[in-house]
Amino acid sequence: MEKILFVNSSPNRDGNTYRIGEELLKDKDHNVLQMADYRISQYGQVFEDDEMKEVLKEMDK
């Protein structure tokens, strides 16, 4: 069975979006991906410290 990945894209790691997601998933096996933890360049910009590949690896799991 695949595991649920809750992607919290709010800049507030513990805000309403996070709390609602956790409440909805409380009885389900899930991981949380906090997008605020990653540096991601805007479309058309590429920087050395961009971490989009790490985000995609987490989603692929």
Q: What is the pLDDT of residues 8-61, one digit of tens each?
A: 999 999 999 999 999 999 999 999 999 999 999 888 887 889 999 999 999 988
Q: SS3 of 13, please?
A: coil
Give yes or no for a contact between 5 and 35, defined as CB atoms under 8 angstroms apart: no
**What's the confidence (pLDDT) of residue 4?**
95
pTM exceeds 0.75 for this model: yes
Cα angle 20, 24, 29; round to 5:
125
pLDDT of residue 6 exceeding 90, the answer is yes
**What's the confidence (pLDDT) of residue 43?**
82
Give yes or no for a contact between 36 and 10, defined as CB atoms under 8 angstroms apart: yes
Instruction: List the beta bridge partners of residue 8.
Output: 34
pLDDT of residue 5 exceeding 90, the answer is yes
